[in-house]
Amino acid sequence: MATILADNIISPLGSTTQANCQAIRSGKTALRHFSSGTDIRVPFPFTAALFSEEQKRAFAIDGYTPFESLAITSIRETLTTCQIPMDQRTCLLISSTKHEGPLAAQRIAQAVGIITIPIIVCNACISGVSALILADRLIEMQRYDYVIVCGLDLQTTFIMSGFHSLKALSPNECRPFDLERTGLNLGEAAATVILGKKPKKGAWYILASAVRNDAYHSSSPSPKGEGCRMAIEAVMSPAEQPALINAHGTATLYNDQMEARAISQSGLSRIPVNALKGYFGHTMGAAGILETIITMHSLDNQTIIGTRGFEELGVSGNINIIRDNTPTDKTSFLKIISGFGGCNAAIHIAKKLPPLKSKDNENKDRQILHRIVITPKKVQIDNETIDTKGQEGKDLLTHLYKTRINDYPRFYKMDALARLGFVATELLLQKEKETQGQQEHPQRAVIFCNESSSVNADRTFLATISSPENFFPSPSAFVYTLPNIANAEVAIRNQYHGETAFYILPHQDENIMQMLAEATMQDPFNKDLISGWLECKDEDHFQATLTLTTTH
Amino acid sequence: MEELILELKKEIIKVLNLEDMTPEDIDSQAPLFGAGGLGLDSIDVLELIVLLEKHYGIRLANAAEGKKIFTNMENIARYVSENRKR
């Protein structure tokens, strides 16, 4: 259980939580139509929620990039209302889908006085909620007393082109859950919360949380909404009566349909549902945190914010979308979110202390079953070195695939990072099969860490948008610019529905990776775990060090 | 038409990374999606849309339009020959 102590939102609608709440309560939106005049160079008009030049100047800090400045400003603003000790017991999580890497995270941490190593949570669209969940667990595990979670993303030609290639953008203001919805709008924002271990009068608490994978497709949600339903069911029973479900509601055809189905299948059809993308657009790494903050504050004001853009129900499944601001006296809600890589998260937040958790899971005996190391020149499983027949680098991975796997042509569609994760996991699982026999493991989790994120895939995608004359953004290349697609490939291949997450660290820090593995196992659904370092600088420079850990 | 079909097969093998496949392996009348075909998915549809724009100047608005055309190689070739801008 963690207590939410303070928060801040910086969006085009304002630079405090209060300003943002007031703006949307009166129906304002940050969405604007652009056909030119922004730094985003794309050959099509779009609607987005972007900071104005004036707003960018307001949060700019000398010597820091706009991304760093935005994070530092939001964190400092949050700290003005909540003083916390900056010692070994305080940590920073940055949630971002297109972050500037671990060095930027360290510069942000240092600028606000954090002395511990910051962790970037890079888990596609669910990053924000993933980071809140990790923060809650780190406090529950007594690893830290305070965790600052800052989610942010700024929009670029890169991101806009990618979503365009996926035909996911609406040229007009988005319309979540509506019959006429045609896609999403991208948005810029930072959202920060400080979580602590001690209860505080009138505060909000994280009661329960879960991350589940669809194990269906790298970029489309399961049409049945399976992962989303599993995440919801893990945190809330149909008997509960929260004020609302704050949905992801991106206004793409597939996302909203999937969420509607998951909500109705979970037996929560009667609960009011809203979505906030009509005010802020899809703010990516900030979204899960921003929408959680807005929902907490609107319930503090006894209001469910209406779903801007929604008129007529355009999803099948019996759900109760709230169109206009509606009064409520309830003080708990469910936040759900889903993203590329088939990941889905649900978090139950309430203004009351949760019941004491049983500590069963902590006493479980964990055992590392197998370990694999793959470098461009060497493959070692447990203590046995594999003869690689002189193959090296990129060719080594293809060689391993052809000689030891060879029944999954999708391998050739993967980028280098996903290929590495796939081959390393396959060899690890072959070892498991030898010793344990063939078994299904639907509750297995897959957690990867690295320092270069998706740098190789980013270069591949950039090459497809290099100039206005040669602007043909590749949808498949864009999908792999999210590192957690590597987790998805493993989950899909093996039908794992456990948690999937990707974390970025400044270096291969075994202590932090151990901590992240333990945090994952806090959810008893995650019975066993494939985890470790999965780094790929380019097609010929990579390293995988993965372990398979089980509980008994 | 045969020439265009062969050209399209080569391009599709390249952009969709259908490693280990040759144009001869793709039956011009066999379905491209679903079981029994090449097993292409929704991202492949979008990638084929990019291919048509890049090589033939054909712009498709959405994936649904693409799926109607990308049924088999013969249909794609027919559509390209009727609509190509270059």
Write the pLDDT tens digit of every residue in A251-286.
999 999 999 999 999 999 999 999 999 999 999 999
Q: What's the DSSP call for residue A87?
A: S
Q: What percent of chain A has pLDDT over 70?
A: 98
pLDDT at residue A467, rounded to an integer: 87
Please identify which residue in the block is written with the tokens 């796997």. A405
Q: Range of B51's domain?
A: 2-83
Residue A461 — pLDDT band, cuts 50, 70, 90?
Answer: very high
pLDDT at position A480 is 98
**Which chain A residues have a beta carbon less than 8 Å from that of B20?**
409, 412
User: Do residues A285 and A389 both lie within one domain?
Assistant: no
Confidence of residue A366 (pLDDT cuts 50, 70, 90): confident
The nearest alpha carbon in chain B to A221 belongs to B42
pLDDT tens-digit map of A399-422: 999 999 999 999 999 999 999 999
Chain B residues within an 8 Å CB radius of A488: none
A517 vs A193: CA distance, rounded Å? 23
Helix (H, G, I), strand (E, B) or coil at A104: helix
Residues A544 and A476 occupy one common structural domain: yes
> Tokens for B10?
């080569």
Report yes or no on A248 lying in a domain.
yes
The DSSP 8-state label assigned to residue A109 in this structure reads: H
Among A322, A350, A378, the domain-final residue is A350
Asked if the Cβ–Cβ distance from A472 to B53 is below 8 Å, we say yes
List residues of B whose CB lies inside 8 A of any A CB: 16-20, 41-44, 46-47, 49-50, 53-54, 62-63
Q: Do B44 and A476 count as a contact with CB atoms less than 8 A apart?
A: yes
* Separation CA A405–CA A394 (nearest Å): 16
For A475, the closest of B20, B47, B62 (CB atoms) is B47
CATH of the domain at A430: 3.40.47.10
Residue A336 shares a structural domain with residue A397 = no
Looking at the fold, whether A396 and A529 belong to one and the same domain comes out as yes
Judged by CB atoms closer than 8 Å, whether chains meet at B46 and A218 is answered as no
| Number of structural domains in chain A | 2
**Whether B73 contacts B5, CB under 8 Å:** yes
Please indicate, yes or no, if residue A462 is contained in any of the structural domains.
yes
Q: Best mutation site among A467, A476, A481, A539 for testing chain B: the one with the most B CBs within 10 Å?
A: A476
Confirm if A529 and A447 have CB atoms less than 8 A apart: yes
* pLDDT band at B41; cut points 50, 70, 90: confident
Query: How far is Cα A69 from Cα A416, in angstroms, rounded to an integer?
Result: 32
What domain range includes position A437?
367-550
Residue A356, domain member (yes or no): no
Q: How would you label A431-467 residue by residue, b for 16+ Cβ within 10 Å and e otherwise?
A: bbeeeeeeeebebbbbbbbbbbbbbbbbebbeebbee
Residue B77's CATH number: 1.10.1200.10
Tell me the two tokens of residue A89: 């017991």
Measured between alpha carbons, how far is A293 from A288 in angstroms, rounded to an integer? 9
Domain boundary residue, one of A323, A350, A377 = A350
Hunting for tokens 């060879």 — which residue is that? A406
Using an 8 Å Cβ cutoff, are A232 and A334 in contact? yes
Q: Say if residue B86's pLDDT is above 90.
A: no
- Using DSSP's 3-state secondary structure scheme, residue A416 falls into helix
In this model, does residue B63 exceed pLDDT 90? no
Hey, what amino acid is at A58? A
Note whether B41 contacts A217, CB cutoff 8 Å. Answer: yes
In whole angstroms, what is the distance from residue A351 CA to residue A438 CA?
46
Residues in chain A whose Cβ is within 8 Å of chain B: 165-167, 217-220, 409, 412-413, 472-476, 479
DSSP conformation letters of A342-392: TEEEEEEEESSPPPPPP-GGGGSPEEEEEEEEEETTEEEETTEEPP-TT--
A360, part of any domain = no
- Are the beta carbons of B46 and A413 separated by less than 8 Å? no
Task: Give the residue on B whose Cα is nearest the Cα of A165.
Answer: B46
Tokens in use for B69? 């055309």
Whether the per-residue pLDDT at A362 is higher than 90: the answer is no
Whether A443 contacts A525, CB under 8 Å: yes
Chain position carrying tokens 């479980």: A364
CB contact under 8 A, B54 and A219: no
| CA of B80 vs chain A CAs: smallest distance (Å) | 18
* Mutation to test the A interface, candidates B22, B33, B42, B45, most A Cβ within 10 Å: B42
Residue A354 pLDDT exceeds 80: no
Query: Min CA distance, A253 vs chain B (Å)?
Result: 12
Work out the minimum CA distance from B1 to partner chain A, whole angstroms.
26
Pick the residue of B33, B50, B53, B62 with the most A CBs within 10 A to test the interface with A by mutation: B50
In a shared domain, residues A297 and A420: no
| Residue A504 and residue A471 share a domain | yes
Amino acid at A330: K
Which residues are CB-neighbours of A406 under 8 A, at least 6 positions away?
Answer: none
A373 with A337, same domain: the answer is no
The predicted complex's ipTM stands at 0.90
Return the residue of A nearest to B66 by Cα: A167
What single-letter amino acid sits at A344? N
Pair A263, A371 in one domain: no
Q: Are A123 and A212 in contact (CB under 8 A)?
A: no
Mean pLDDT of the A226-241 span: 95
Cβ pair A474:B50 closer than 8 A: yes
**Would the pLDDT of A469 be above 90?**
no
Domain membership flag for residue A355: no
Mean pLDDT value of segment A14-30: 98
φ, ψ of residue A142 to 5 degrees: the values are 65, 25
**Is A409's CB within 8 Å of B20's CB?**
yes
Q: Clarify whether residues A448 and A331 are in a common domain.
A: no
pLDDT (0 to 100) of residue A336? 98
Look at residue A527 in the predicted model and tell me its pLDDT: 96
- Would you say residue A285 lies in a domain? yes
Nearest to B19 among A218, A412, A472 (CB): A412
**B36 has a pLDDT exceeding 70:** no
> What is the rounded average pLDDT for all residues in chain A?
96
CB contact under 8 A, B63 and A167: yes
Q: Check whether residue A373 and residue A319 sit in a common domain.
A: no
Least confidently predicted of A194-208, A217-231, A358-372, A424-438: A358-372
| A371 and A322 both lie in a single domain | no
Phi-psi region of B39 (alpha: psi -120 to 50; beta: other; left: phi over 0): left
Residue A521: other Cβ atoms inside 10 A: 25
The SS3 call for residue A139 is: helix
pLDDT at residue A551 above 90? no
Q: Any idea which residue has 């499983």 for tokens?
A: A381
Domain count, chain B: 1
Whole-angstrom Cα distance, residue A176 to residue B65?
23
Q: Tokens 């993965």 — which residue?
A: A546
CB B50 to CB A220 under 8 A? no
**Is the CB of residue A184 less than 8 Å from the CB of residue A176?**
no
How many Cα atoms are found within 13 Å in the side-chain-facing hemisphere of A424? Answer: 35
Residues of B whose CB is below 8 A from A408: none
> Which three-class secondary structure state does DSSP give residue A319?
coil
Q: What is the mean pLDDT of residues A41-56?
A: 96
Cβ neighbours of A413 in B, within 8 Å: 16-17
- Domain membership of residue A227 (yes or no) is yes
Instruction: Please answer yes or no on whether A475 and B50 come within 8 Å at the CB atom.
Output: yes
- Of the candidates B19, B47, B62, the beta carbon closest to that of A409 is on B19
Asked if B46 and A167 come within 8 Å (Cβ–Cβ), the reply is yes
Q: Please report, for residues A161, A375, A378, the alpha-carbon distance to residue A386 in angstroms, rounded to integers and kept in the order given.
A: 42, 12, 7
Q: How far is CA A151 from the centre of its chain?
A: 10
Of the residues A161, A164, A165, A167, the best mutation for testing chain B's interface (the one with the most B CB atoms within 10 Å of its CB) is: A167
Calpha distance B76→B10 (Å, rounded): 13
User: What strand order describes the sheet that includes A32-34?
Assistant: A32-34, A46-49, A186-187
- Give B54's contacts in chain A (Cβ within 8 Å): 472
Min Cα–Cα distance to chain B from A218, Å: 9
Question: A292, A324, A350 — which closes off a domain?
Answer: A350
Looking at the structure, do residues A371 and A346 belong to the same domain, yes or no?
no
Domain assignment present for residue A243? The answer is yes
Q: Are A34 and A45 in contact (CB under 8 A)?
A: yes
